[in-house]
């Protein structure tokens, strides 16, 4: 199992490849994860938003987690596997978190309960119950998706719970990480890709970065530059990645990522499950132009 010191650097929320008929494409998943592991990432997230958690069944999460563990063993590495287990039902989240622990996950990513817009007290109680299971918990704050925003006090209270080892902050700016850094020694990872550099400067310990499914080396290098204090070089490295990041979030994640990975031949198909749809022709053209400019440089 992981601890808070492991929560730094680039964690990649892995896409879940499907075949055109919508079934799980395990060979593509293996090929993609093997590449990610070769790039010096610090961790993998299975069943994140980028892994299409709303439409992936628990049986599939189980299969993906087992594949991931086997690949890590085969490659002789020890990067932590974090499994997304959060739902908007505390009892279901507890039960999924227990199952993730039994599967050998090193930690779980638990989103703030979405849709029902619970009170701050309800959110704190949700995390207290999940943390009791004993597997390390990473809180995932993403108000644009959940419909409710954590106050700084609530975020701090949740981070103070034993068993909560850190936070993924996708709140849309650097205010939360700036406010939390002096208040807690628990790490905050940036989950808002365009803000990654600013978040690192504000005290974030790394990023859970969907975009790092592609050009993974460049993201890891940019992080290393920032972590070693070479902020000017890091800023320049992130600036080079920004046009890619913007295109990847121009339409719903992970459709653009899947298009790019299929275009690069890493996965067999860009298929996503409804209600997600493949990217538009306009975005495909823009990504094609970006790829050609990368290939020329
Ligand atoms: O799956 C994730 O974890 C992430 N999802 C975010 C989103 O889709 O909103 C983006 C972030 O890079 C990581």
Position 254 in a domain: no
Identify the pLDDT of residue 293.
86
Q: How many domains does the chain have?
A: 1
Identify the pLDDT of residue 297.
65
Identify the pLDDT of residue 48.
98
Query: Ligand 1: does its nearest atom lie under 6 Å from the Cβ of 193?
Result: yes
- Is 90 annotated in a binding site? The answer is no
Residue 141 pairs in a beta bridge with: 169
Position 264 in a domain: no
Contact 155, 140 (CB under 8 A): no
> What share of the chain has pLDDT > 90, as a percent?
97
Tokens encoding 201: 């400067």
Give yes or no: 29 in active site: no
Ligand 1 center–CA 285 separation, angstroms: 23
Tokens encoding 112: 């703030």
Position 168 in a domain: yes
Identify the pLDDT of residue 9.
98
Position 198 in a domain: yes
Contact 225, 233 (CB under 8 A): yes
Ligand 1 center–CA 209 separation, angstroms: 6
Residues of the chain predicted below pLDDT 50: none
Ligand 1 center–CA 170 separation, angstroms: 8
Identify the pLDDT of residue 265.
97
> Which atom of ligand 1 lies nearest, measured to the CA of 49?
1
Q: The whole model's pTM is what?
A: 0.97
Determine the structural domain holding residue 26 and report its residue range. Answer: 4-230
Position 130 in a domain: yes
Query: Ligand 1: does its nearest atom lie under 6 Å from the Cβ of 118?
Result: no
ipTM: 0.91
Query: Ligand 1: does its nearest atom lie under 6 Å from the Cβ of 50?
Result: yes
Identify the pLDDT of residue 294.
77
From the candidates 34, 35, 114, 140, give the one annotated as an active-site residue: 140
DSSP string for 45-74: EESSTTTTGGGS-HHHHHHHHHHHHHHHHH
Identify the pLDDT of residue 182.
97
> Which atom of ligand 1 lies nearest, measured to the CA of 254?
8
Query: Ligand 1: does its nearest atom lie under 6 Å from the Cβ of 49?
Result: yes
Exposure of 76 by Cβ count < 10 A (0-12 exposed, 13-18 middle, 19+ buried)? exposed
For residue 131, give the CATH number of its domain.
3.20.20.70
> Which atom of ligand 1 lies nearest, measured to the CA of 208?
13
The strand pair at 206-208 and 107-111 is best described as unpaired
Give yes or no: 168 in active site: yes
Closest residue by Cα to residue 262 from 4, 18, 9, 14: 18
């Amino acid at each position: 199992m992981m601890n808070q010191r492991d929560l730094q650097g680039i964690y990649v929320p892995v896409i879940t490849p499907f075949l055109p008929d919508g079934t799980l494409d395990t060979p593509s998943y293996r090929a993609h994860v093997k590449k990610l592991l070769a790039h010096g990432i610090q961790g993998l997230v299975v069943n994140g938003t980028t892994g299409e958690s709303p439409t992936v069944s628990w049986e599939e999460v189980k299969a993906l987690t087992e594949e991931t563990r086997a690949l890590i063993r085969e490659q002789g590495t020890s990067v932590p596997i974090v499994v997304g287990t959060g739902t908007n039902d505390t009892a279901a989240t507890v039960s999924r978190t227990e199952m993730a622990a039994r599967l050998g996950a090193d930690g779980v990513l638990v989103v703030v309960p979405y849709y029902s817009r619970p009170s701050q007290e309800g959110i704190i109680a949700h995390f207290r119950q999940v943390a009791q299971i004993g597997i390390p918990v990473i809180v995932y704050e993403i108000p644009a998706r959940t419909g409710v925003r954590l106050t700084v006090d609530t975020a701090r209270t949740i981070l103070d719970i034993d068993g909560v080892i850190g936070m993924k902050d996708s709140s849309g700016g650097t205010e939360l990480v700036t406010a939390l850094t002096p208040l807690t020694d628990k790490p905050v990872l940036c989950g808002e890709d365009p803000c990654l550099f600013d978040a690192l400067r504000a005290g974030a310990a790394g990023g859970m970065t969907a975009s790092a499914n592609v050009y993974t080396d460049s993201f890891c290098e940019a992080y290393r530059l920032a972590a070693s204090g070479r902020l000017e070089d890091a800023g320049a490295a992130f600036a080079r990645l920004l046009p890619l990041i913007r295109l990847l979030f121009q339409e719903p994640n992970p459709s653009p990522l899947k298009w790019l990975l299929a275009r690069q031949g890493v996965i067999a198909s860009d298929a996503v499950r409804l209600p997600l749809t493949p990217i538009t022709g306009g975005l495909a053209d823009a990504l094609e132009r970006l790829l050609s400019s990368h290939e020329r440089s």
